[in-house]
Amino acid sequence: MEESLKLRKWGNSNAIRLPKEMLKHIGITPGDDEVRVNVTNDSIVIKPQKEEKMLDKLFENYDSSQPYPFEIVDKGGAVGEELY
């Protein structure tokens, strides 16, 4: 997706207004507080900065290829009339 946009003054800075369709294409919504901006060689790259979910943080070092250690899990035994 390529589009010609105009650079305008905004206070003491310069600004480019990005079209809604362009932002939607890369997953940025108006409610997002921050984006990641990288300058590489002669390009400016803008990416969404998504907040890392707590569940992802909890499982970041989890290795699903390893067997689950069932022997350390307290199953608690029957409480009512469960059948084992």
Q: How far apart are CA 51 and CA 27, in angstroms?
A: 13
What global pTM score does this model have?
Answer: 0.50
Contact 45, 62 (CB under 8 A): no
Return the higher-pLDDT residue of 78 and 17. Answer: 17
pLDDT above 80: residue 4 = yes
Confidence at 84, pLDDT banded by 50, 70, 90:
low
* pLDDT digit string, tens, across residues 14-62: 999 989 898 888 888 877 778 889 999 999 998 888 777 788 888 888 8
Phi first, then psi: what are they for 24, rounded to 5°? -60, -35
The CATH classification of domain 7-72, taken from the options 2.40.50.40, 2.60.40.420, 2.10.260.10, 1.10.10.60: 2.10.260.10
